[in-house]
Amino acid sequence: MVIKSPLQTLAFSLAAAALLAASAPARAADVPLVTAQATGAGLSLTLEGHLEPLRQATVSAQLSGNLTALLIKAGDRVKAGQAIARIDDRDAQAGLQRSAAGLAQAEAEARNARLAAERTRDLRAQGFVSQAALDTADTQFRAAQSGVQQAQAARTQASLARGYAAVAAPFDGVVLATQMQAGDLASPGLAIATIYAPDAMRATVQVPLSMAALARQATRIEVELGDGRRIQPERKTELASADAVSQTVEWRLDLPRSALKDLVPGQVARIRFSGEANPAVAATALRVPTAAVLRRGELTAVYVAQDQGFALRAVRLGSDHGNEGIDVLAGLKAGDRIAADAIKAGLADARPATAKP
């Protein structure tokens, strides 16, 4: 008689349980099926976008110095030319004084050169000096005149620099944000505030390249706002290039001025493209539930029921009808049975719900 230790007994029990589990048939996951049906519905495409102003400017400093005063805050309305900030102008004022002194010196030197040239011309007429002496005097006078012009330009430049101490709004608008506070050090190119014109706005939406053709076919475009309003744009523009990373094309939809009340930049909007579908497309379009479509980057596919399992099949999608489903333009034929849930159908033990074990 063999006596087993408790550890040997436990190991034997675990091994037996593992053997039984391995020999037991795995329970497959039943996935419900749906049938792809033809539909003659019109084109419908809904994408999410946002609002942005047509005219927006970031006002920057053009002078170095401490910001002595910030005269606006976010949300304020400003007029064109209105002062919105002031920069310490003591250095600019000193530069203006230096340029004024330089101009006075240049003008004095030019007067001396002119008088010298006139005296030399008289002496030359009397034969007391050579022509070379007269030429030298005339050249010095012209050089002195050029010095005056240079000094005048320097004074104008210093005057402009001093004028940059008062930062003004470029147009009538609303302050979107301020990037500096009083006491900060300003320098040329450093942003002080962002201003936008509220009387002209547009909706911007990124349309995937796979849906670009559908968007172009649309005969009606609406911008739906969060409060339920639907606005038809006055003008639509499709940019000529696509984003290399997101593979989308930007559409810009200019909104009518009468619809701009209470709209702010950055507000989310839903863009609806609709219209009559191309007859050739409508005749072959099939509609399937949105959950039946598997999306992996640019790949769109469905799981088609075959015998005891599923086969992944790539498809080309059309209009998205929300809860009503999504149109499939190519890759399926009417009557094909597909998995209603593409995620479950991708599991290793998935099988069609109607198949017999």
Helix and strand tally (H, E) in the chain?
6, 26
pLDDT tens digits, the chain, 357 residues: what are they?
444 454 444 344 434 444 444 444 444 578 888 888 776 556 677 889 999 999 999 999 988 899 999 999 999 999 999 999 999 988 888 888 999 999 999 999 999 999 999 999 999 999 888 999 999 999 999 999 999 999 999 999 888 888 888 999 999 999 999 999 999 999 999 999 999 999 999 999 999 887 888 788 888 899 998 888 899 999 999 999 999 998 899 999 999 998 888 888 999 999 988 876 555 555 456 788 888 888 887 788 999 988 778 888 898 876 667 777 887 877 888 888 888 888 888 888 888 886 444
Instruction: Name the residue with tokens 């109607």.
Output: 354
Report the distance separating Cα 10 and Cα 16, nearest Å: 10
| Cβ contact 329:316 at 8 Å | yes
- Tell me how far CA of residue 252 lies from CA of 170, 205, 206, 237, 327, in angstroms: 24, 7, 9, 5, 26
- Tell me how far CA of residue 295 lies from CA of 48, 291, 292, 302, 314, in angstroms: 18, 10, 10, 9, 10
Tokens representing 97 are 């004084």
Name the residue type at position 122: D
CA angle 198, 204, 205 (to 5 degrees): 160
pTM: 0.58
